[in-house]
């Protein structure tokens, strides 16, 4: 199976190369050269979840990974539930936060980790591999959990000391084993700069086999296609075939990876009517779709901070789905921006209806409600567990969210991080001592 570098389409790579390299030359994103529709989507939707995930991934990846391998990867990576409860007569919530870090990033991070481990094992490689990443809170948890216990791979996660919540810290700094967490006495920008300096240091890069876990890796994207089929499978089982064509999917978007995965699902034949990309005040894409002008503003801080992105790095893939793969984006995709006030009001309204949503999920519910016609049905994607955003929920709903078992379990565990100053020399020594 071939992937191309969007910036240099003559540059073709296998899935394996794309996963290991992350980015092509000139920082170009890898994407599919060809996409074909599933011959029989309804049959796929009637399968059990594991078989369906294997069928969808097998269709996307062609013969590069055989069914047995894919089954092993899927069974290990996607080993937590997906739920899609109805929250009102017209709407369902697609809950993607039942994984170990309580956010949908578990899907992509876990599948990517297992792909890397699989390719390494296939090579019988004994070269070291070190995943290095900086986090301002949430991605670090998904990455740390994804690589925990993966043979031959070490993960090093940097975060600004004292600038993430104590609960966030407990969630990924208590794992130990092959996971090293470093609390940097500085801010997030400094953490990112330290990571960059390490990648620029040839001795460190090659000696430790540095690899990034970043969100643009193609392995992450393909894993996220699966849950769109999970949602449709549930609609089919509960409401019948005719209901599928009435579904409108609304995706709370930051870097637009999640939305790209949804459009990929449409491109290979997921039955669905249309999709909505919902953003917060960082509304580059809604403005682009309205005016045709790409005109990013400075990034604004909002209560949906995982979506505070003004230059979404996956958007070239969205455009590629239109230009190369012929997806009718004008008909299938709309976008809208939701203010913090409207997001807070949405959290209150949903809570009154008996559904507790984190701010990102509530924002999607709001955008969906505004757009839905009488003869349509909607599914909004819930990207994080409400317990991940305790502070916002306390402010808006004056309510304390009970801790889910995953968090309650780690709340009393010891934080294993080492503290380092925000200087490269100290960080470099720490890496060499690993």
DSSP H or E run through 425: helix 424-433
**Please, what is the minimum distance in Å from the beta carbon of residue 315 to ligand PLP?**
10
How far is the first Cα of the chain from the last one, in angstroms, to the nearest whole number?
37
Is residue 211 at the binding interface for ligand PLP, with CB under 6 A as the rule?
A: no
Which one among 360, 367, 380, 386 touches ligand PLP, defined by CB under 6 A?
360
> How does 362-394 read in b/e, with b if 16+ C-beta sit within 10 Å?
bbbbbbbbebbeeeebbbbbbbbbbbbbbebbe
What count of residues does the chain have? 434
Phi, psi of 163 (to 5 degrees): -110, 5
Other residues' Cβ atoms within 10 Å of the Cβ of residue 301 = 11
**Please, what is the minimum distance in Å from the beta carbon of residue 259 to ligand PLP?**
6
Is residue 257 at the binding interface for ligand PLP, with CB under 6 A as the rule?
A: yes
Which one among 306, 344, 367, 393 touches ligand PLP, defined by CB under 6 A?
306
3-state secondary structure of 420: strand
Q: Are 163 and 187 in contact (CB under 8 A)?
A: yes
Stretch that binds ligand PLP, among 37-45, 148-156, 255-263, 328-336 (CB under 6 A): 255-263
Cβ nearer to ligand PLP, comparing 127 with 297 = 297
Q: Are 144 and 179 in contact (CB under 8 A)?
A: yes
Stretch that binds ligand PLP, among 13-21, 72-80, 247-255, 286-294 (CB under 6 A): 247-255
For ligand PLP (CB under 6 A), the number of binding residues is 15
Q: Which among 366, 376, 381 is positioned nearest to 90, based on CA atoms?
A: 376
The residue behind tokens 């637009």 is 256
**Please, what is the minimum distance in Å from the beta carbon of residue 205 to ligand PLP?**
26
Cβ nearer to ligand PLP, comparing 61 with 309 = 309
Which one among 258, 302, 334, 377 touches ligand PLP, defined by CB under 6 A?
258
Stretch that binds ligand PLP, among 121-129, 250-258, 295-303, 325-333 (CB under 6 A): 250-258
Cβ nearer to ligand PLP, comparing 249 with 306 = 306
Cβ nearer to ligand PLP, comparing 150 with 260 = 260
**Please, what is the minimum distance in Å from the beta carbon of residue 284 to ligand PLP?**
12
Which one among 146, 384, 387, 410 touches ligand PLP, defined by CB under 6 A?
384
> How does 135-164 read in b/e, with b if 16+ C-beta sit within 10 Å?
bbbbbbbbbbbbbbebeebbbbbbbbbeeb
Q: Are 346 and 360 in contact (CB under 8 A)?
A: no
**Please, what is the minimum distance in Å from the beta carbon of residue 224 to ligand PLP?**
8
Q: Which of residues 131-160 bind ligand PLP (CB under 6 A)?
A: 138
- Write out the two tokens for 219: 């392995």
Is residue 378 at the binding interface for ligand PLP, with CB under 6 A as the rule?
A: no
Cβ nearer to ligand PLP, comparing 140 with 252 = 252
Which one among 255, 302, 343, 377 touches ligand PLP, defined by CB under 6 A?
255
Which one among 383, 390, 393, 431 touches ligand PLP, defined by CB under 6 A?
383
Stretch that binds ligand PLP, among 49-57, 185-193, 249-257, 367-375 (CB under 6 A): 249-257
> What distances in angstroms separate CA 320 from CA 7, 31, 216, 266, 325, one per listed residue?
11, 8, 15, 14, 7
In 173-314, where does DSSP find H-type helix?
A: 188-200, 202-208, 218-239, 241-244, 257-267, 284-291
- DSSP letter (8 states) at residue 39: S
Stretch that binds ligand PLP, among 29-37, 66-74, 197-205, 251-259 (CB under 6 A): 251-259
Which one among 58, 99, 252, 378 touches ligand PLP, defined by CB under 6 A?
252
Stretch that binds ligand PLP, among 152-160, 237-245, 253-261, 415-423 (CB under 6 A): 253-261
Q: Which among 229, 247, 269 is positioned nearest to 46, based on CA atoms?
A: 229
Is residue 254 at the binding interface for ligand PLP, with CB under 6 A as the rule?
A: yes
Is residue 91 at the binding interface for ligand PLP, with CB under 6 A as the rule?
A: no
Q: Is the dihedral of CA 414, 80, 356, 342 positive or negative?
A: positive
Gap between the Cα atoms of 420 and 430, Å rounded? 9
Is residue 253 at the binding interface for ligand PLP, with CB under 6 A as the rule?
A: yes
Cβ nearer to ligand PLP, comparing 228 with 256 = 256
Question: Which residues of the shown chain bind ligand PLP in the complex (CB under 6 A)?
Answer: 103, 105, 138, 252-258, 306-307, 360, 383-384
């Amino acid at each position: 199976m071939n992937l191309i570098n969007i910036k240099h389409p003559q540059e073709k790579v296998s899935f394996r190369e794309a996963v290991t390299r992350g980015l092509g030359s000139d920082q170009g994103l890898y994407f599919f050269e060809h996409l074909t529709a599933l011959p029989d989507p309804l049959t796929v939707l009637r399968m059990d979840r594991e078989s369906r995930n294997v069928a969808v991934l097998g269709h996307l990846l062609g013969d590069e990974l055989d069914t047995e391998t894919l089954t092993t990867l899927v069974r290990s990576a996607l080993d937590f539930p997906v739920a899609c409860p109805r929250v009102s007569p017209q709407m369902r919530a697609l809950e993607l936060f039942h994984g170990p870090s309580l956010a949908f990033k578990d899907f992509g991070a876990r599948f990517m980790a297992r792909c890397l481990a699989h390719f390494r094992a296939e090579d019988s490689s004994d070269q070291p591999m070190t995943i290095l990443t900086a986090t301002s809170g949430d991605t670090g948890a998904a990455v740390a959990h994804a690589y925990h216990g993966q043979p031959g791979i070490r993960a090093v996660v940097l975060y600004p000391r004292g600038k993430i919540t104590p609960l966030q810290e407990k969630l990924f700094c208590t794992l130990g084993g092959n996971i090293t967490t470093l609390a940097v006495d500085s801010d997030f920008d400094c953490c990112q700069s330290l990571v960059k300096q390490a990648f620029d240091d040839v001795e460190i890069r090659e000696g430790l086999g540095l690899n990034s876990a970043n969100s643009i890796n193609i392995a992450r994207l393909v894993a996220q296609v699966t849950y769109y089929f999970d949602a449709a499978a549930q609609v089919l089982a509960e409401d019948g075939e005719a209901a599928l064509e009435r579904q409108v999917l609304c995706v709370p978007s930051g870097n637009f990876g999640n939305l790209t995965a949804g459009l990929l699902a449409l491109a290979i034949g997921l039955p669905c009517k249309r999709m909505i990309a919902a953003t917060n005040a960082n509304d580059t894409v809604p403005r682009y779709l309205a005016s045709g002008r790409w005109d990013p503003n400075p990034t604004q801080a909002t209560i949906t901070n995982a979506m505070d992105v003004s230059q979404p790095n996956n958007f070239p893939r969205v455009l590629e789905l239109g230009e190369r793969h012929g997806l009718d984006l004008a008909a299938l995709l709309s976008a809208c921006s939701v203010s913090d006030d409207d997001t807070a009001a949405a959290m209150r309204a949903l809570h009154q209806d008996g559904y507790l949503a984190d701010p990102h999920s509530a924002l999607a519910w709001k955008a969906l409600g505004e757009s839905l016609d009488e003869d349509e049905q909607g599914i909004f994607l819930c990207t994080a567990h409400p317990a991940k955003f305790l502070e916002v929920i306390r402010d808006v709903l004056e309510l304390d969210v009970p801790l889910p078992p995953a968090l309650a379990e780690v709340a009393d565990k010891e934080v294993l991080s080492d503290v380092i100053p925000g200087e490269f020399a100290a960080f470099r020594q720490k890496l060499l001592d690993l």
